[in-house]
């Protein structure tokens, strides 16, 4: 009772000053839809929080300095070795600060998890069409966040100035130098003169601990506020429409669940950092431009860029005293740049093709948008091949494949693979749609064989559950091209469909909207028909998102099947 | 079909909030909330049979809940013990040696993981088995503002614009824009002193006529008569540059011993000493040290992107993304028999750059 009164007292005190009761009540009752894929963004968010916590700890001990020192710390094998203060202080964190190694390893694992979660989250958003209106801006913020994450990670693992990360910086320098016209200057300005210089670690440090995390924090805040304001999307299901949001309230459900999730992620990262060594810089040794070990790999999120550099042919032009290093700047800038650019434009391209300007809050199941899904898988395939090529020396070694063959394979499959993936994915999606249509039409096979009075054997089917049916029938159909039905009496198409661009759009429209048609009765009507026919009881509002055309014809067909 | 024309689905889908009626304010277990707070919970939008509470106060299965309560409490106790264990491990376990660090890392990491995982597991079980299952529906309003709101905003905006005189007085508008241009450019100018201009520094290395080739790390000069085993390979740098990373990043050289008859064009024979040939170790692709050498094929392989060069044929590119051979350093021997450079490289070493030509 006293706690109650105390809380009320605090609440009143705050409310007198901030007028919070109404807003906070709305906040507490805010509905969060549930689906396991909605956790991917949370993983990224909490990894980021953990990165901030562990990163702050590391800054207490790390010296971002390239001043040369001779090591005399606790790690005996490196005694007397010349190294930068950055490397020496990283050894110090690992061997002379209690919990230092754990914090370093959690920081590194969390960075990898952060990037992996962003990738997975982004794929989820893409494949379920959650980037559609009104969420285009959040999609763009997400792409910027991913780019910032890549830079943040690259700069972060370059800080210890070990042999591996130094090689990464050397590659960065080479890539900068290859950029036409300004490249040499960019490299000299970033490194403060010739490579490696004494400036790069302190400069990357301040970018890594202040500028980029600040930008990420600001954009994450915007990302969350927009998500919060627009309310989360939901997966198709019973009672879920584009005009509502179904789920559990923020308080206490979502708060408890998301808090638990934070602990899980922290616990998982602690577990990984206890048992799985990551970035053991004491084994790599300090950076020296004269040495390099075999099997050097960047962190996984840079692997695609690394693979692109490896797969490229030696193509370089010398024109009028200037060098075009196509072998470097093309693979460094084009493949990933093209993917990000295409991703940024895709929501608007799709909108232009389909003419769909409506708000979407119920996500698509990937199979119900076969062209989008196929495009996505094609890009994933392209990315994946270059990513694997980024580790081709490891793959060649592990699987005893000739090294050069792995590159030759990648050179071919990076072009063929996406096409094959596109075709296959589209066929698979359409096949899955047919399976769904079949389920809706015939119900679930029960395995019960029954003999009819006339001697015929039939297998009994059970109508799909209400929940599943609601998920299966949901399709977000585009509104249709203006040309269909909007030609005037002389057969002149609508203005936006005229000309070459209009024809292209019409063709693209047909590709993008290719889909297996559910029979009109698969909305409300068919479900009821089946249900009645088999005597199963069926909730009256089986499908709230049902097609308006469904009810009429459904009953008749249902009777036919049921008898 | 996304635009749903029909009415919204049932506010409370059946099966999720089994008996709202039964869970009235009469039967409150635990601390009853103050009357006002409870009144706030009633949503005025709920037209039909507005229930007294949207969230039931009891879980669906009380027996299960009792069990879950014990489990959750045990998990929280475990988390607490693990947390104390973490502190104990911090105080009790020293670091300062590889073994000690590994022990400390194991104890700290494991106790931390157990504490967090137990907390997380406890909280999840709490939510799933102790909190009553609910599914609520909240209406979404279209994000677009109403025409009235838009009109009102437009009016406010126009009024403000008029009051500011921004539209009426173009001279102010234009001079303001003109004033911001240099302000926007200035920060870029300010970055100019981030580094010196490259000049011709990428074209030269520390190699001069007569500079001795000394072994990297140790700094020991190389006697031509000591380096005689075919297949031998040595990383050498100019004498006096051992601790100058900028020089090493350009000047590091691979010294390779082949049988003289193995060397073919375009290797410059005058730049070799009795089958010993010197190539820049800095890969012409992206500057990694081309550190791997295969004796039998005399191939130099850069471990970064697998550009492969043939040491017997002027380090010509035979595979990979590098566009140019590794530059060859002209070497000879001095009066004492040590290997020395005849001159600097005759072309820039390392990765290409715009001005290279």
Number of domains in chain A: 2
Residue A181's pLDDT band (cuts 50, 70, 90): very high
DSSP collapsed to 3 states, A447-499: EEEEECCCCCEEEEEECCCHHHHHHHHCCCCCCCCCHHHHCCCCCCCCHHHCH
Same domain, A388 and A460: no
Residue A45's pLDDT band (cuts 50, 70, 90): very high
Same domain, A417 and A369: yes
Same domain, A423 and A532: no
Same domain, A519 and A417: no
Q: Do B303 and A296 touch (CB under 8 A)?
A: yes
Assess contact for B292 and B281: CB atoms under 8 A. Answer: no
State the DSSP H helix or E strand holding residue A173, giving kind and residue range, or none if neither.
helix A163-178
Angle between the N-to-C axes of helices A100-127 and A39-59, in degrees from 0 to 180, rounded to the nearest 10: 150
Interface test with B, best of A78, A263, A406 (most B CBs within 10 A): A263
The answer to whether residue A493 sits within a structural domain is no
Which of A75, A96, A323 lies nearest to residue B354, judging by beta carbons?
Answer: A323
Q: Which residues in chain B are closer than 8 Å to A539, comparing Cβ atoms? A: 14
Among A442, A468, A501, which residue terminates a domain? Answer: A442
pLDDT at A554 over 70: no
Mean pLDDT confidence for A431-441: 93
Alpha carbon distance A400, A308 (integer Å): 22
pLDDT at A135 over 60: yes
Of the two residues B300 and A495, the one the predictor is more confident about is: B300
DSSP B128: I
pLDDT at B228 (0 to 100): 87
Supply the pTM of this predicted model. 0.88
Residue A105's pLDDT band (cuts 50, 70, 90): very high
Q: Do A171 and B13 touch (CB under 8 A)?
A: no
pLDDT at A531 (0 to 100): 36
Mean pLDDT confidence for B131-142: 92
Helix (H, G, I), strand (E, B) or coil at A518: coil
Select the highest-mean-pLDDT range: A505-509, B67-71, B187-191.
Answer: B67-71
Same domain, A394 and A456: no
Q: Among candidates B249, B174, B254, which has minimal Cα distance to B213?
A: B254
pLDDT at A271 over 70: yes
pLDDT at A367 over 50: yes
Mean pLDDT confidence for B153-171: 94
pLDDT at B293 (0 to 100): 93
pLDDT at A494 over 90: no
Residue A487's pLDDT band (cuts 50, 70, 90): low
Q: Do A98 and B3 touch (CB under 8 A)?
A: no
Residue A432's pLDDT band (cuts 50, 70, 90): very high
The answer to whether residue A380 sits within a structural domain is yes
pLDDT at B18 over 60: no
Q: Which residues in chain A are closer than 8 Å to B131, comparing Cβ atoms? A: 252-253, 256
Same domain, A518 and A541: yes
Mean pLDDT confidence for A330-356: 95
Same domain, A419 and A458: no
Among A442, A459, A487, which residue terminates a domain? Answer: A442
The answer to whether residue A221 sits within a structural domain is no
A129-167 burial string, b = 16+ CB within 10 Å, else e? bbbbbbbeebbbbbbebbebbbbbbbbbbbbbbbbbbbb
Please report the ipTM that was assigned to this predicted complex.
0.87
Residue A521's pLDDT band (cuts 50, 70, 90): low
Same domain, A519 and A466: yes
pLDDT at A563 over 80: no
Residue A516's pLDDT band (cuts 50, 70, 90): confident
Mean pLDDT confidence for A302-317: 95
The answer to whether residue A179 sits within a structural domain is no
Alpha carbon distance A300, A276 (integer Å): 16
The answer to whether residue A55 sits within a structural domain is no
pLDDT at A541 over 60: no
Same domain, A437 and A543: no
pLDDT at B156 over 90: yes
CA distance A314 to chain B (A): 4
Interface test with B, best of A6, A66, A174 (most B CBs within 10 A): A174
Residue of B nearest to A84 (CA): B245
Q: Do A290 and B5 touch (CB under 8 A)?
A: no
- Provide the residue range defining the domain that includes A406: 364-442
pLDDT at A499 over 50: yes
Which of B109, B114, B322 lies nearest to residue A273, judging by beta carbons?
Answer: B109
Percent of chain A at pLDDT > 70 equals 90
Chain A, residues 291-350, CB within 8 A of chain B, namely 291-296, 306, 309-316, 318, 321-323, 325, 327-328, 331
Same domain, A531 and A550: yes
Q: What are phi and psi of B164, to 5 degrees?
A: -75, -15
The answer to whether residue A544 sits within a structural domain is yes
Average pLDDT, chain B: 87
Alpha carbon distance B249, B245 (integer Å): 6
Assess contact for A493 and A501: CB atoms under 8 A. Answer: no
Mean pLDDT confidence for A267-293: 94
The answer to whether residue A212 sits within a structural domain is no
Residue of B nearest to A293 (CA): B303
The answer to whether residue A375 sits within a structural domain is yes
Residue A297's pLDDT band (cuts 50, 70, 90): confident
Mean pLDDT confidence for A511-527: 65
Same domain, A426 and A525: no
Q: Which residues in chain B are closer than 8 Å to A246, comparing Cβ atoms? A: 9, 13, 135-138
Angle formed at CA A429 by CA A423 and CA A435, multiple of 5 degrees = 135
Same domain, A451 and A389: no
Residue of A nearest to B120 (CA): A260
Alpha carbon distance A33, A31 (integer Å): 6
pLDDT at A400 (0 to 100): 96
pLDDT at B318 over 90: yes
Among A386, A415, A442, which residue terminates a domain? Answer: A442
């Amino acid at each position: 009772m006293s706690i109650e009164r105390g809380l009320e007292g605090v609440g009143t005190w705050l409310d007198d000053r901030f007028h919070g009761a109404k807003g906070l009540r709305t906040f507490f009752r805010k509905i969060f839809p549930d689906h396991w894929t909605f956790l991917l963004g949370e993983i990224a968010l909490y990894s980021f929080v953990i990165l901030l916590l562990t990163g702050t700890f590391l800054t207490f001990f790390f010296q971002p300095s390239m001043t040369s020192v001779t090591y005399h710390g606790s790690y005996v094998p490196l005694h007397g070795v010349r190294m930068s203060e950055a490397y020496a202080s990283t050894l110090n964190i690992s061997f002379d600060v209690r919990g230092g190694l754990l914090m370093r390893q959690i920081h590194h694992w969390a960075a990898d998890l952060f990037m992996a979660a962003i990738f997975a989250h982004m794929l989820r958003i893409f494949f379920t069409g959650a980037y559609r209106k009104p969420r285009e801006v959040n999609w763009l913020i997400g792409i910027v966040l991913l780019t910032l994450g890549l830079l943040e990670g690259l700069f972060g693992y370059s800080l210890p100035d070990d042999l591996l990360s130094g090689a990464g910086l050397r590659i960065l320098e080479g890539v900068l130098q290859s950029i036409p016209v300004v490249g040499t200057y960019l490299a000299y300005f970033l490194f403060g003169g010739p490579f490696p210089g004494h400036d790069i670690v302190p400069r990357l440090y301040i970018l890594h601990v202040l500028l980029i995390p600040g930008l990420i924090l600001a954009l994450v805040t915007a990302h969350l506020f927009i998500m919060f304001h627009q309310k989360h999307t939901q997966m198709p299901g019973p009672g879920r429409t584009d005009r509502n949001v179904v789920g559990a309230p923020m308080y206490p459900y979502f708060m408890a669940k998301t808090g638990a999730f934070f602990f899980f992620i922290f616990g998982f990262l602690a577990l990984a950092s206890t048992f799985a060594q990551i970035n053991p810089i004491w084994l790599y040794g300090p950076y020296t431009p004269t040495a390099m070990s075999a099997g050097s790999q960047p962190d996984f999120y840079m692997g695609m860029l690394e693979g692109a550099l490896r797969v490229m042919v030696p193509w370089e032009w010398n024109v009028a005293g200037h060098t075009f290093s196509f072998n470097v700047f093309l693979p460094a800038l084009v493949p990933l740049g093209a993917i990000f650019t295409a991703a940024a434009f895709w929501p608007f391209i799709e909108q232009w093709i389909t003419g769909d300007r409506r708000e979407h809050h119920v996500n698509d199941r990937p199979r119900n948008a076969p062209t989008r899904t196929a495009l996505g898988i094609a890009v994933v395939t392209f990315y994946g091949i270059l990513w694997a090529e980024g580790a081709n020396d490891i793959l060649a070694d592990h699987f005893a494949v000739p090294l050069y063959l792995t590159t030759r394979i990648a050179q071919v499959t990076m072009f063929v693979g996406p096409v094959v993936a596109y075709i296959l994915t589209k066929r698979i999606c359409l096949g899955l749609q047919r399976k769904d249509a079949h389920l809706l039409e015939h119900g679930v096979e029960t395995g019960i064989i029954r003999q009819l009075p006339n001697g015929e054997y039939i297998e009994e089917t059970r109508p799909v559950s209400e929940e599943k049916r609601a998920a299966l029938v949901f399709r977000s159909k585009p509104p249709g091209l203006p040309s269909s039905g909007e030609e005037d009496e002389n057969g002149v198409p609508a203005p936006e469909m005229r000309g070459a661009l209009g024809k292209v759009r019409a063709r693209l429209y047909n590709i993008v909207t290719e889909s297996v048609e559910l029979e009109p009765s698969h909305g409300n009507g068919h479900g009821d028909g089946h249900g009645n026919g088999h005597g199963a009881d069926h909730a009256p509002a089986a499908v709230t998102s049902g097609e308006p055309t469904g009810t009429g014809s459904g009953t008749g067909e249902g009777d036919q099947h049921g008898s | 079909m996304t635009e749903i024309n029909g009415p919204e689905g049932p506010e409370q889908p059946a099966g999720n909030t089994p008996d709202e009626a039964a869970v009235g304010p009469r039967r409150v277990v635990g601390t009853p909330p103050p009357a006002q707070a409870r009144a706030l919970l009633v949503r005025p939008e709920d037209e039909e049979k507005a229930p007294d509470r949207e969230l039931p106060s009891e879980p669906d299965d009380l027996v299960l809940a009792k069990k879950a309560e014990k489990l959750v409490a045990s998990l929280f106790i475990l988390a607490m013990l693990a947390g104390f264990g973490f502190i104990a491990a911090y105080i009790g376990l020293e670091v300062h040696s590889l073994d000690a660090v590994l022990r400390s890392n194991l104890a700290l990491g494991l106790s931390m993981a157990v504490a967090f995982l137990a907390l997380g597991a406890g909280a999840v079980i709490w939510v799933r088995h102790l909190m009553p299952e609910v599914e609520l529906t909240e209406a979404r309003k279209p994000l677009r503002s109403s025409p009235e709101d838009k009109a009102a905003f437009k009016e406010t905006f126009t009024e403000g614009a008029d009051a500011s005189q921004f539209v009426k007085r173009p001279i102010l508008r234009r001079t303001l824009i003109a004033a911001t241009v240099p302000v926007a450019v200035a920060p870029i100018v300010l970055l100019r002193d981030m580094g010196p201009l490259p000049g011709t520094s990428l074209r030269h290395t520390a190699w001069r006529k007569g500079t001795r080739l000394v072994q990297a790390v140790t700094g020991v000069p190389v006697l031509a008569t000591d380096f005689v085993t075919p297949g031998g390979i040595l990383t050498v740098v100019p004498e006096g540059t051992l601790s100058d990373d900028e020089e090493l990043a350009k000047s590091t050289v691979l010294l390779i011993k082949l049988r003289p008859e193995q060397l073919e064009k375009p290797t410059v024979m005058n730049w070799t000493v009795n089958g010993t040939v010197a190539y820049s170790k800095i890969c012409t692709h992206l500057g990694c040290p081309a550190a791997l050498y295969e004796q039998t094929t005399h191939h130099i392989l850069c471990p970064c992107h697998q550009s492969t060069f043939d040491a017997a044929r002027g380090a010509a590119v035979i595979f990979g993304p590098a566009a140019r051979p590794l530059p060859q350093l002209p070497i000879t021997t001095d009066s004492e028999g040590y290997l020395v450079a005849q001159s600097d490289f005759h072309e820039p070493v390392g990765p290409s750059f715009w001005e290279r030509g």
